[in-house]
Structure 1
Amino acid sequence: MNSKKKINIATILPYKENYSLEKASAASLWVSEFFKNSKFKNNIFIYGNTNSKNYLTKNYININLKSLNSKFQSTTTEYSYKLAKEIDKKKFDLIEIHNRPLILFNLLKQIQNRFIFYFHNDPLSMNGSKTIEERLFILKNVEKIIFVSEWVKNRFFLNLDLKLSAKTEIVYPSVNKQKTTKKCKYITFVGRLNHSKGYDIFQKSIQKILDEFPKWKSLSVGDEDRRSIYINHTQHKELGFLSHKKTLDILNQSEIAVVPSRWEEPFGRTALEASSRGCATIISNRGGLIETTNQAIILKKIDEKNLYKEIKKLILNNKKRKLIQRNSRKNIKHQVLNNTKFIDQIRESIFPIYNVNFLKNKIKIINLYNQGQKLNHRLFNISLGKKFTNGFIRNGNDVLEISDRDFIKNNKTYNLLQNSRVNFQNYLIETCKNYNPDLLFFGHTKNINLDTIKELKLLNKNLIISQWNEDPVMPDLSYSKQNITNINLYSDSVDHNFITTDPSVLKQKINSDNLHFFFVPVDKNIERFDVFKMNPKKDLFYAMSHGVNRAILKEGTEDNRVEFLDKLVKKISKIKYDFYGFANKQPIWGDDFNSALINSKMALNLSRGKPTKHYSSNRIASVVGNGLLTFVDKKVQMSDFFNNNEMIFYDNIADLSDKIKFYSVNDKLRKKIANNGKKKYFKLFNEIKITKYFIDISLGNKPSLF
């Protein structure tokens, strides 16, 4: 897999957004806080316009504008033109535009790039997103739209089909956890000192409160150009506009914070910050305010009577006030670290190099394998595809199963111009369009056309496609030659190939750059017996077949396993062995397989072909996973994973026969080793761990198998 390339990101603020320590407002604070913890912070440049030199972060680049006060020249046009030159010069991979649709429209005309658009305010109040056509245009031309609240998102989709929301996410303004601070008897209002922010409501209620409670004081932080509301009281102090840091210091000291806004707040950052700093916070239910915290008191009606009543309750009930403060500080709803990771995942999802379009590490998977419907599901207990589905789901992912062979069989047609294999291509393509998977995971098929794989990757440039194969691939086995051909059919077209043989065995046979080993998994719902606790009547179990699709032996067919067993049974004549697929005793399947297996103390794990590094038929999961003492040839090198107290390794037939005889009469030791073997197998190679290994490789994470 290719290593992750750096993503160079241009973050563009509205030119009126002041990115400075003294005058930063909501969008600037949002950008600076998520920048500081981003894994891409060394490759992010933030653009805006300000006269200040005291920038919030060092990566800020100021765009000087001549048209700021011009009546004859568009400032947005000049800003967009200068940004386009910067972007072209620095070769950015991703452009993030905050809160100005018109800048997006201008840049789309000037440059080709990938865009994320962030809405911090009501889209229906902004030029460029008021109409349905404008909003549909934005949806079509960006990779993602991010809203700062559910309320803002709902406004964007007013009179639009919510099915279009697949390209959108909500990332809330966030704060860091704070230490407990000493509180003063302050009741604090932060915001513009006007009617829309409810400052008049605060004025009327707080004057009554201060008259009744002389030990309490109130503070106002904010300003207003056309001021009409004033609080005249000796216990009240107006602090004017303060820097963000000083405002937070005030909230750290305050017992109660008030946000009685009449305006439909897109989010309500003050409420989040006040609550996180241990204020007992009172809010209205306007806009996104109720999304800021679960600990706030919500006004039943936005008027001075209700606000007065709620403040008074908090003052009089010291116990309740302290509990709200403690819970507010402890249970912060939106934290910077968590949401920074989420934003970085969104960024990663846009680029093919990251190989998957995933969010929060929960992905959508199509698991394509032979479900064996035509075999009446007699392979349920040895089906790796079924175990993979269970593991993917138990890892928190969504899975859609497709059985290619069953589809083709069930959709046969007598139309010479239309066969079921051709129909299957269309079925797979249309299913991918509807489901939009992040990972297409298939095994043991030749039913997917290479052109279909190309089309699927065109549909979703981030789609990961991987194949798996559990059959032997040792070069000396004639059966393996066809199997290697089958793997090679897709090996260069898919992102990953997973096999149950150590990849070193297949040097120069298969594209080794994307070849990975995996161990046959056990599944807690399938390997569910503890034979070491039972009293089996037989000593030694072994089952083989001439292929899982054959219910019976193929007449006249023998391989090295038959020769091996012929020699073995002569040496263990007194051992009660139970062998299937041998000496005209037919293979067994399904529940009959389980019934026979649990009636033996021990099992032989013998695969076709020469013993090969790490390869085993999938029966190893059945025998070890169900608690049978298991014998394995040393040359398979299972000792890389298991020790002599977990599995029995033999050198040759003579050594094997001696060990079978020994353990058949040493039940206590046999049970102990079988128990240890099952525990180790489930620890190392359970269905959850194996499928996480598949996903980690797909996502470009560091995989851990052993």
Structure 2
Amino acid sequence: MNIAILLPLKEKYTKVGGGAVSILVNTHLPKSKYKKTTHVYGSKVNKPLDTKNFKPLDSNKNFFSNSSYVSSFQKKIFPKTDIIELHNRPKYFFYLKKKFPDKKFVLFFHNNPLDLKGSAKLSDRKFLYENVDSLVFLSVWMKDQFFRDLKITDTKKINIFYPGVSTVKKFPAKKNIILFVGKLNRTKGYDIYTDAVSRFLKNHKTWKGIAVGSEPRRNIQKSKDIVELGEISNKEALQLISESKITIACSSWDEPLGRLPIESASRGSFPIVSNRGGLVETLTEGFSILKNNNSDELLKKITFLAKNPKKLISMQKNIFKKFNYSLEKTSKKIDNIRDSLFEKKVAVNAKNLKILHIASFNQSSNGNLYYSTANKFNIGFTKLGHFVHTIDDKFFLKSNIGNSIYSLNEKIIKNVANFAPDLMILGHTNKINRATLKKIKILLPKLRICRWYIDSISPEFFENNSKILLNNINYIDKIFITSLPSKILSKFKNKFYFIPNPVDSSIENNKNFSNNNLPYDLFFSLSHGQHRGVLKSGKTDERDNFINSLHSSLHQIKKYFISSNFNSPKWGSDFFHYLSNSRMGLNMSRGQYQKLYSSDRIASLIGNGLLTFMDQKTNYNKFFTNKEIIFYKNKNDLINKIIFFKKNDHLAKKYAKSAHQKYHKYFNSKEVCSYILSKCNLIKRKKFYWI
């Protein structure tokens, strides 16, 4: 698993001056099982906390805005990244999700979400909740702020995470130190601390007051009684906490996270904190809480502890004993959050799966398209022992007037609720609303949703075809296409998979190679219009010219061509009549991009025992030899090979038989459906002929 962590723009990933985000990331990373495959991206610094994982984003500080910062990250990110983790900058998500729609996103909140750009508005929080894969809040208080006026429907993506701290084995030796760690301002309660501790020290000469932190816009007068150390490293701060008997976090604002109580407990230093925000969530002693949070109350508490050393040591050892936030444990929790974004490859009982198949089953064609790919999938899943329930979306929309798309989506939701499928498989449909898929995921969180797509993904068709192919892609687990996934789809990692066009012996049941008397030598059919019975009006493609030229060059060959200038499309039994009476077939598909692509015609040709010719650009020689499928380089090469096999009928039948046997053995509907189930983690099987 490859992980990219993006720090906030102004975060300094350094030992001194590094903020809470840097501390959390740097301390947990070495304990993660993904430490070798995690990269931390942030603004360039002179001495980063680590040089192995940190990837600086170069910039000119005068011009480096959040937008250019995120853009720089987008360009530098490792291409095979699985998860992008964002810390305390929800606005980054809105840009990055568009650039990386198929990557998983984890968003950590270190501060009040209502104070951050990108989550202050209710509409923004709703969008984040619906689209971020995992929301991590560093306190329950932060989570409650995020979901103010927002209804929670999916708790699985919500995580409360308290940062861990390195532990010490023995209870540390203590000194009479009252420690303050944080910015030296009124918001952090430093004025309360200085007033109370200064008064305390006048009567307790053996004690010291030490403050760690700074404040550029300071307006609190420095106390001569308190030692101010400025900014130090987290390691040095922890050492001071180990030595201190009491630590103070008396913030006057709603502190989002109680980090100081966690660090204090890890070292047995007794924390006293204000009852604000998330400060109190990790406490184990009620005496720690300042209910009124003023200097008189704080003075009273530290005076009591100083006068009752046995009570103090008892409470110190108690919180030390009960400390439950070791780096090992909290790092494992982060890894578990990451793991939860990906389904465990544990197969369910695959003997009796329920499958909901939504596609066009051509109900209005009166059986003319019984050999469609959609029907072959139904047959394949059924042969494997599964129950397939179908919804013909096109027929439904055609049969229902009025708000038919709304009715279709309602029908799908009701079917999912009543049928409770294990797998929902979609064909060439783009009428299912995003809101519908969201409801379905909530109804059945374990439901796998996949799509099959058998049209070309060639660049010249992609803009139009992508309307179906990429429709609601964030809700689709896997997409199966009859092409090798191209570069244009490479950003969708582990989403697209090649499948061959399936053949089924109940449909492709002819063995033309066994027939000695066939009236036609060569069969070819253009795809557009084949399923309509007429060619699309005014539509031609590059194959028409090729076929016209081919036809005129093959005078001695008995041909049956379905194209613009020859025979009109045939379907149903008529289509199979001409197919089954031909010795050879030409399989030629549209598009510049041909890698492993073929229309579903290939299954009809090879599956019925025709010697099949294919362009070598398809790379189908990966699966078949030149003694099974005849590959041609160009038109002249094709003409010569057609004439050759016309004269050598015994070889034509021999090669056709070999291809037929292989296609039916490895590319049959059961095999293709098994592959779909394996990629959807519904069965355990790794080996298939085409991978």
Tell me which residue corresponds to 2:205.
Answer: 214
8 A contact 1:145–1:167 mirrored in 2: yes
Tell me which residue corresponds to 1:256.
Answer: 246
Distance 1:289 1:424 in 2: 44
2:59 to 37, 44, 65: 65
Tell me which residue corresponds to 1:428.
Answer: 420
Is 1:336–2:327 an aligned residue pair? yes
Q: Which structure exhibits the higher relative contact order, with contacts defined as CA atoms closer than 8 Å and separated by 6 or more residues?
A: 2
Tell me which residue corresponds to 1:224.
Answer: 215
Tell me which residue corresponds to 2:594.
Answer: none
1:181 to 162, 166, 172: 172
Distance 2:48 2:417 in 1: 59
Distance 2:143 2:346 in 1: 25
Structure 1 residues 37 and 511 mapped into 2: Cα distance closer, same or farther (>3 Å)? closer
Backbone CA RMSD of aligned residues: 4.2
Tell me which residue corresponds to 2:191.
Answer: 200
Distance 1:490 1:77 in 2: 45
Structure 1 residues 316 and 11 mapped into 2: Cα distance closer, same or farther (>3 Å)? same
**Corresponding residue SS for 1:78:** helix
Q: Deviations over 1:319-341 (max 9, x none)?
A: 11111111121111323222222
Distance 1:491 1:82 in 2: 42
Structure 1 residues 366 and 127 mapped into 2: Cα distance closer, same or farther (>3 Å)? farther
Q: Deviations over 1:88-131 (max 9, x none)?
A: x5432221111112222222333334221111111111111111
Tell me which residue corresponds to 1:313.
Answer: 304
Partner amino acid, structure 1, of 2:132:
V
Tell me which residue corresponds to 1:284.
Answer: 274
8 A contact 1:275–1:295 mirrored in 2: no
1:81 to 71, 92, 99: 71
Structure 1 residues 57 and 289 mapped into 2: Cα distance closer, same or farther (>3 Å)? farther
Q: Deviations over 1:630-657 (max 9, x none)?
A: xxxxxxxxxxxxxxxxxxxxxxxxxxxx
Tell me which residue corresponds to 1:104.
Answer: 93
2:31 to 37, 40, 63: 37
Distance 1:123 1:76 in 2: 18
**Corresponding residue SS for 1:48:** strand
Q: Give the superposition deviation at 1:160.
A: 0.6
8 A contact 1:492–1:511 mirrored in 2: no
Distance 2:93 2:180 in 1: 35
TM-score by length of 2: 0.53
1:131 to 121, 124, 130: 121
Q: Give the superposition deviation at 1:346.
A: 1.9
Tell me which residue corresponds to 2:237.
Answer: 247
State how 1:135-154 maps to structure 2 within 5 Å: 135-154=125-144
Structure 1 residues 434 and 14 mapped into 2: Cα distance closer, same or farther (>3 Å)? closer
Structure 1 residues 314 and 183 mapped into 2: Cα distance closer, same or farther (>3 Å)? same
Is 1:172–2:172 an aligned residue pair? no
Q: Deviations over 1:207-258 (max 9, x none)?
A: 1211121111111111111222235344x31111111111111111101111
Q: Give the superposition deviation at 1:272.
A: 1.3
Distance 1:333 1:102 in 2: 33
**Corresponding residue SS for 1:20:** coil
Q: Give the superposition deviation at 1:307.
A: 0.5
Structure 1 residues 125 and 489 mapped into 2: Cα distance closer, same or farther (>3 Å)? closer
**Corresponding residue SS for 1:163:** coil
Q: Give the superposition deviation at 1:292.
A: 2.6
Q: Give the superposition deviation at 1:188.
A: 0.7
2:45 to 41, 44, 51: 51
- Structure 2: tracts of 5 or more residues without a match: 354-385, 388-413, 422-435, 453-472, 479-669
Partner amino acid, structure 2, of 1:130:
A
**Corresponding residue SS for 2:275:** coil
Partner amino acid, structure 2, of 1:285:
N
8 A contact 1:188–1:218 mirrored in 2: yes
Q: Deviations over 1:576-603 (max 9, x none)?
A: xxxxxxxxxxxxxxxxxxxxxxxxxxxx
Tell me which residue corresponds to 2:82.
Answer: 93
Structure 1 residues 44 and 216 mapped into 2: Cα distance closer, same or farther (>3 Å)? same
Structure 1 residues 489 and 81 mapped into 2: Cα distance closer, same or farther (>3 Å)? closer
Partner amino acid, structure 1, of 2:90:
P
Q: Give the superposition deviation at 1:348.
A: 1.9
Q: Give the superposition deviation at 1:497.
A: 14
Q: Give the superposition deviation at 1:21.
A: 1.2
Q: Give the superposition deviation at 1:74.
A: 5.7
Distance 1:197 1:247 in 2: 17
8 A contact 1:99–1:120 mirrored in 2: yes
1:19 to 7, 13, 33: 13
TM-score by length of 1: 0.52
8 A contact 1:207–1:231 mirrored in 2: no
8 A contact 1:292–1:333 mirrored in 2: no
Structure 1 residues 299 and 108 mapped into 2: Cα distance closer, same or farther (>3 Å)? same
Structure 1 residues 366 and 305 mapped into 2: Cα distance closer, same or farther (>3 Å)? farther
Structure 1 residues 323 and 492 mapped into 2: Cα distance closer, same or farther (>3 Å)? same
Is 1:270–2:266 an aligned residue pair? no
State how 1:481-492 maps to structure 2 within 5 Å: none
Partner amino acid, structure 2, of 1:261:
S
**Corresponding residue SS for 1:194:** coil
Partner amino acid, structure 1, of 2:85:
E
Distance 1:497 1:141 in 2: 21
Distance 1:63 1:15 in 2: 10
Partner amino acid, structure 2, of 1:254:
S
State how 1:628-643 maps to structure 2 within 5 Å: none
Partner amino acid, structure 1, of 2:444:
N
**Corresponding residue SS for 1:19:** coil
**Corresponding residue SS for 2:205:** coil
Partner amino acid, structure 1, of 2:336:
Q
Q: Deviations over 1:148-182 (max 9, x none)?
A: 11111111111111225442212211113223221
Structure 1 residues 273 and 511 mapped into 2: Cα distance closer, same or farther (>3 Å)? closer
Structure 1 residues 257 and 495 mapped into 2: Cα distance closer, same or farther (>3 Å)? same
**Corresponding residue SS for 1:85:** helix
Distance 1:46 1:157 in 2: 29
State how 1:403-414 maps to structure 2 within 5 Å: none
Q: Deviations over 1:525-545 (max 9, x none)?
A: xxxxxxxxxxxxxxxxxxxxx
Distance 2:248 2:50 in 1: 27
Distance 1:340 1:145 in 2: 16
Q: Deviations over 1:284-343 (max 9, x none)?
A: 111110113323611121101110111111111111111111112111132322222222
State how 1:493-572 maps to structure 2 within 5 Å: 494=677
Distance 1:439 1:270 in 2: 43
**Corresponding residue SS for 2:420:** helix
Report the count of equivalent residues: 408
Partner amino acid, structure 2, of 1:299:
L
**Corresponding residue SS for 1:252:** helix
Q: Give the superposition deviation at 1:133.
A: 1.2
Partner amino acid, structure 1, of 2:3:
I
State how 1:652-663 maps to structure 2 within 5 Å: none
Structure 1 residues 80 and 315 mapped into 2: Cα distance closer, same or farther (>3 Å)? same
- Structure 1: tracts of 5 or more residues without a match: 1-6, 358-364, 371-403, 406-421, 441-449, 451-456, 463-486, 499-509, 515-706
